[in-house]
């Protein structure tokens, strides 16, 4: 089941004090960014936060893990914790601080111009 925009808007509202939060739709689900770093995923209308030692320490005994999609490593699953705005904002902030900045994207190489197929067809017609 794909996540819906209403749930993403709710998560966005909960994280208002966390910094520059944005979402990007991917494969029917959403990646959540905090200041350019992927800190979470919204999958099946559930929020998963990238696990870090600092995040685990903050949540303490209340850590619940889950897989955002089949075959994924476990992420921190924010079930009822999603309603605790203060803890959630702190979790996203310390998770973003613990993660490195993503590597800059390499510029795409310019494609070579396509060879004209018409010249090749014309050469084969002459042989006939």
Domain assignment present for residue 118? The answer is no
**C-alpha span between 114 and 20 (Å, rounded):** 42
Domain assignment present for residue 114? The answer is no
Domain assignment present for residue 113? The answer is no
Domain assignment present for residue 116? The answer is no
Domain assignment present for residue 120? The answer is no
Q: Is pLDDT above 60 for 75? A: yes
CATH number at residue 75: 3.30.1460.30
Number of domains in the chain: 1
Per residue in 45-74, pLDDT (tens digit) is 999 999 999 999 999 887 899 999 999 999
Strands (E) across 2-123 are located at: 21-26, 29-34, 37-43, 46-49, 65-66, 75-78
User: What pTM was computed for the model?
Assistant: 0.77
Q: Give the residue carrying structure tokens 């209308």.
A: 45
Per residue in 96-120, pLDDT (tens digit) is 999 988 778 788 877 766 666 555 5
Specify the pLDDT at position 19. Answer: 75
Q: How buried is residue 122: exposed, middle or buried, by Cβ count under 10 Å (0-12/13-18/19+)? A: exposed
3-state secondary structure of 42: strand
Per residue in 76-103, pLDDT (tens digit) is 999 888 999 999 999 999 999 999 887 7
Residue 70, domain extent: 5-103
Domain assignment present for residue 119? The answer is no
**C-alpha span between 4 and 8 (Å, rounded):** 7
Domain assignment present for residue 20? The answer is yes
């Amino acid at each position: 089941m794909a996540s819906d925009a209403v749930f993403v808007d709710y998560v966005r509202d909960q994280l208002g004090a966390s910094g520059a939060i944005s979402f990007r739709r991917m494969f029917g689900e959403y990646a959540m960014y905090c200041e350019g770093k992927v800190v979470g995923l919204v999958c099946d209308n559930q929020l998963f936060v990238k696990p870090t030692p600092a995040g685990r320490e903050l949540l303490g005994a209340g850590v619940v893990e889950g897989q955002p999609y089949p075959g994924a490593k476990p992420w921190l699953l924010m079930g009822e914790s999603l309603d605790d705005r203060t803890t959630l904002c702190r979790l996203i902030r310390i998770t973003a601080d613990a993660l490195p900045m993503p590597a800059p994207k390499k510029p795409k190489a310019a494609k070579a111009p396509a060879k004209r197929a018409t010249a090749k067809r014309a050469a084969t017609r002459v042989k006939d």
